[in-house]
Structure 1
Amino acid sequence: MLNFRPSITAQYSAVVDKSVSIVRQLQSCRRYAEARGWDVVGEFVDDGVSATANRPEDRNGWAALLAATDFDAVIIWKVDRLARRVLDFLHADEALQKRGAGLVAVEDPIDMTSPQGRAFAVMLAVFGEMEAEAIRARVRAARAQLLKDGRWAGGGIPYGYLSARNPGGPGWVLVKDPDREPWLVAIVGKALGGVTVNAITTWLTSEGAPLPAGSIARRKSGGIAWNRQTVDGILRNPVLAGMSPHNPGRPKSAKRADPFAVFRDEEGEPVVNEALAVITAEEFTVLQKLLDARSAPQARKRSEREATSPFLSRVVRCDDCDVFLCRGTNQKRPVLYCPSCRQTMSRSAFDPYLIARLLADRGREPLGGSTVEAHWAAAGSSDEARRKILLTQLESLRVRRGVVGRYFDEDRVLLRWRARDSA
């Protein structure tokens, strides 16, 4: 994104989102600004972010633009680079109107300052949404045909399997991995025998079992460590029973795939490849019930649960599922997790990050005849008191999914403070 200032007192900005060539978009916006006599006052780029899957307000570049001051226009390269849904486009334009800023597109001749221009811009957004839906339909149809032909439709290769050239025609098929299949059979056998996912994870680590191909190993005491999420994902993959996952049109909020959403024949029965199965369909159903029964911390005895801080109780929402994150532990470390899609956020880094942001951004805000910073100091170590202070300043706090790893990723945190006159 770019910000521009003309030779007089007004200021302008241009915005560039995902493209095959970000450099090309930036150059086009700069030339457009130069032709109109505008001066650049800043650049904001959202690289590698899909306008189809991400709303403008959830992107770092767009949020940084709205946080900037003194600009009168926003130039985007094309309407469909900003938004692929009409509603998202209208929300983005509304946010600019509240700032008194207009919207201009380099490749699309739109002028949001007139009723005719606004109508034309909405039409472009409609066509962008139609194109995105057409692409999704083509992808779904192609995947369905691959599965119908018995070929591998792509994506992450399940543990215990390999992709190989299709001996009966074009494309690729799945085959069992001779090195990892014995481990897969052992994992499934232990789970069906009542062994918990955590216990299986510990066993795999202690035995030095090979990790999934292409995975990023986590080091622990000089060795390679498995993690619970990997094992749980392995046990929930329907390929264990020779079935192929098939989730056409699965919404973004359903990040955790339904293990029973599988490719089916014309009669609605699952298509089973016996050559890939390590358990029967009936055993797979039993396995899923066992896993679901142990998913929630509330399923464990109260004496076995570890106490966690109530500081963020019913404060943080999952951005994908729009539900409050629950408190829990993972390998005895405090985490927040989504009860729907199962994404997690480690609190060891998240809590200190949030507290630092609160005191830095809102510490001097007035609160109860004093300031936020003073009330925070008076709260001491009381998590309940701290939570009440946080809620007086918070508009919304959401966490989106990200790459699971060792390090805290602040880009996953979508934080909005209350308007200063309403804190």
Structure 2
Amino acid sequence: MTVVNVNKVRRCALYARLSVTKEESVSITRQLQSCRRYAQARGWEVVGEFIDDGVSATANRPEDRKGWTTLLEAEGFDAVVIWKVDRLARRVLDFLHADEALQQRGAGLVAVEDPIDMTSPQGRAFAVMLAVFGEMEAEAIRARVRAARAQLLKDGRWAGGGIPYGYLSAANPDGPGRVLVKDPERLRWLTEAVMMALNGATVYAVTKWLTDEGAPLPNGGRNKRTPGNVEWNYHTVDRLLRNPILAGMTPRNPGRGRNAKDVDPFAVVRDESGTPVASESLAVITVSEFTALQNTLNSQESPQVRKRRDRVTTSPFLSRVARCDACDVYMCRGTNQKRPVIYCPKCKQTLSRTTLDPYLVERLHAERGSEPLAAATVQDCWDAAGADELAKREVLLTQLESLRIRRGVVGRYFDEERVLLRWRPSLVSAGTCRTATTDS
């Protein structure tokens, strides 16, 4: 590992990160301002500024963040200036990996607010201790949140999160906080949908019925992406039918988990004897009926249960190409409200191909178009493929080392941060051009 002398530093890069903007948080702008003043005081030239806004350090390793990755790909700096150690990492292992990546290229790490200087051995040792305390602090915060939530559930209050369809959040009549109550406007739609599923209707059939009948959508009754669109989503209905609130039970951790396999519909609040605590005032079916409903849903196939004539053919361009970053399985191609998507068969995360495919093609042309391929270039082979999607897929695979998709914020438009793309390191690729064929 190379040790960098702070006295020899002449040029530096600035890095700032923020998970969520809060009143007590230090904004990206303020972080960069502090870093600039620090560099100016030392007479260092700032050669670049890199940010990761809205990115959690606990959930995302530095090497998986776009801003940090772009920083490592840059040239011409001797040190990286950050505001505090926890802006880079919240876990010791992540911090050490990030520092090692800088040391391998002969650069050091400097924190403005923490009394450390990673350009010296003593500074690195102290920084590791700060990283340890940062990890302990993050765990302490999680423990306090879990304890507070457990107390709210014990008191029968609403602990926050997404409000289930067919319910409302109301002021607690027996004390502080809020509680769930049935939503009279949407309750009849919820009850009918559950009865249909209990009687054997598939999730797709229930989804189609809700759309055809004009049932109001969750969160205001309109599709925010397509104003005026009242089409229901298959996965929305599937989650609705798997929510234990239908039987008056309270999930221990409501909401969407990172992995669907970790979301157990029977992981609910229980009493001392282990019996689920159920509120009759919230239930639309009994606990036994909810169990039967889950068995019925588990016995059905996913979206392919729909009739073949109703399925939409999608491009094979990304067939067995992208993997779910959380589940490490290939993502499948399908449709969501008649628009092409790829989705994880385990955790059910989806990503629109309407924006993903052009994004990948643009990066392939810009970053690998001039790479040699089969006595030509990647761009030449791509052009020769014409409209043949399988041929284009082969060209992409010759350059691709890995393509992983991670979960994003529900309801957001295309987010480049979700796409973890790595090209093959070799500049020489093997393969043959496959020209597109047309019917004569």
Structure 2 CA distance, aligned partners of 1:295 and 1:404?
24
Residue 262 in structure 1 maps to residue 262 in structure 2: no
Query: For the structure 1 residues 252 and 91, does the alpha-carbon distance in structure 2 shift closer, same or farther, using more than 3 Å as the test?
Result: farther
2-side partners of 1:290 and 1:379: how far apart? 45
Cα deviation for residue 337 of structure 1 reads 0.7
CA gap of 1:202–1:412, structure 2 versus 1, over 3 A, is same
d(CA) in 1 for partners of 2:117 and 2:149?
40
**What's the counterpart of residue 17 of structure 2?**
17
Q: Which residue of 2 aligns with 1:150?
A: 156
Equivalent of 1:398 in 404, 427, 440: 404
Change (3 A) 1:422 1:254: farther
Deviation at residue 358 of structure 1 after TM alignment: 0.8
Is residue 317–residue 324 contact of structure 1 (8 Å, CA) maintained in 2? yes
Query: What is the alpha-carbon distance in structure 1 between the residues aligned to residue 177 and residue 199 of structure 2?
Result: 37
User: Match for residue 3 of structure 1?
Assistant: none
Letter in 1 for 2:363: R
- What is the aligned counterpart of 2:286 among 280, 285, 293? 280
Letter in 1 for 2:12: Y
> Contact 1:256–1:342 (CA<8 Å) still a contact in 2?
no
Question: Shift in Å at residue 12 of structure 1?
Answer: 0.8
Q: Is the 8 A contact 2:65 2:417 kept in 1?
A: no
Q: Is 1:320 paired with 2:322? A: no
Rate the CA distance shift 1:20–1:229 in 2: closer, same or farther, 3 A.
farther
Count of residues in correspondence between the two structures: 417
When residues 129 and 255 of structure 1 are mapped into structure 2, their CA distance, relative to the original with a 3 A threshold, is farther
Summarize the Cα distance change of 1:141–1:406 in structure 2 as closer, same or farther, 3 Å threshold.
closer
Identity of aligned residues (%): 71
Aligned partner letter, 2:319: S
C-alpha distance in 1 between matches for 2:275 and 2:403? 43
Check the 8 A contact 2:204/2:303 in 1, yes or no. Answer: no
Task: Name the amino acid aligned to 2:212.
Answer: S
Show the counterpart of 1:93: 99
CA distance in structure 2 between the partners assigned to 1:96 and 1:418 by the alignment = 22
* Residue number among 86, 108, 115 corresponding to 1:80 in the alignment: 86
Instruction: Mark the CA change 1:163 to 1:255 in structure 2 (over 3 Å): closer, same or farther.
Output: farther
Q: 1:293 touches 1:299 (CA, 8 Å); kept in 2?
A: no
TM-score (norm 2): 0.86
The one-letter code matched in structure 2 to 1:42 is: G
Q: Do the aligned partners of 1:16 and 1:45 also contact (CA within 8 Å) in 2?
A: yes
Distance 1:365 1:50, change over 3 A: same
Deviation of 1:219 after TM superposition, in Å, equals 7.2
Matched ranges for 1:236-385 at <5 A? 236-247=242-253, 252-253=258-259, 257-296=263-302, 307-385=313-391
- What residue number does 2:47 align with? 41
1:208 lines up with 2:214 in the alignment: yes
Opposite residue 341 of structure 2, the aligned amino acid is: V
AA aligned opposite 2:369: G
Letter in structure 1 aligned against 2:14: A
Separation in 1, partners of 2:95, 2:222: 37
1:272 deviation in Å?
A: 1.0
Asked whether the equivalents of residues 9 and 44 of structure 2 are also in contact (C-alpha less than 8 Å), the reply is no
Relative distance call for 1:221 and 1:17 in structure 2 (3 A) is closer
Asked if the contact 2:369/2:378 (under 8 Å) is kept, the reply is: yes
Q: What is the alpha-carbon distance in structure 2 between the residues aligned to residue 344 and residue 63 of structure 1?
A: 24
For 1:401-412, what aligned pairs fall within 5 Å after superposition? Answer: 401-405=407-411, 407-412=413-418
Q: Structure 2: 5+ residue runs without aligned partners?
A: 1-5, 19-24, 430-440
1:110 aligned partner, one-letter code: I
* Cα distance in 2 for residues equivalent to 1:174 and 1:348: 38
Alignment-mate amino acid for residue 109 of structure 1:
P
Does structure 2 conserve the Cα–Cα contact (< 8 Å) formed by 1:15 and 1:76?
Answer: yes
Partner of 1:121: 127
Q: Secondary structure at the match of 2:420?
A: strand
The aligned amino acid for 1:17 is R
TM-score, normalised via structure 1 length: 0.89
Structure 1 contact 73–101 (Cα < 8 Å) conserved:
yes
Whether the aligned pair in 2 keeps the contact of 1:85 and 1:129 (CA below 8 Å) is yes
